[in-house]
Structure 1
């Protein structure tokens, strides 16, 4: 009886270990289409939370639309100081003054992707999720680099 319990416990431990490895392995690489699939199907960003100091619809500025909402995943929220944890994702929905979704912009922290610029992978999507620009866009990096000490994050202040 003890042997069966021990064997069953070991099997459960192995299953949980394998599933957690699989879940960690489900994060996409630096690919706009794969990231869109992840944030729209695997882990829908609209179910994520906001930064505690930047909730709901907010006023924005160029080059983004005049209104936005910023969603962040668990890895980002668990980052209590800069730099953020690898796997952190920030998704910004960019809205017109009439609250029409115009574009979706994303920052995704990938270990080893671009160490010179904080390891961020950047993507701009159409409102329907078509990848418009991705990788290391100079405009994104240049603007966000004004906040290197805050790990390139503009809308949330790490203390």
Structure 2
């Protein structure tokens, strides 16, 4: 069983409350997802985020491939972090932690995703060729979109890493 981990950190010149209000609204996931992914919320995003919330989406991870994705918000600490876990979807495991931390320049947003691909060895073969590249593109888009919405901090480098764990 091969696990992978994506880690991303970005700093924005906004307050923690503004960042939390944006990130904890499930409808904003569509704003920070590339349009070519055909992301569409089917159900569960009609309330502010809460522990136990189940959200259903349709997403196209690759051209001509559409899948239903169901996540549950399993942990929430208001203004600090939340965790979403895939219940049904394209991964064998998807555990996504979102952290917010005040820093002198504003707020640091950190994502840590532990994931496993289906199909054993065949799934592992697709990781460097397809999955890793797709996740990098998604998080680069997200970084650019958030910078467009909230601004950039000069001299502060963003961080993105995807590795086997």
Higher relative contact order (CA 8 A, sep 6+): 2
Greater share of helix: 1
TM-score by length of structure 1 reads 0.34
Q: Rg: which structure is higher?
A: 1
TM-score by length of structure 2 reads 0.33
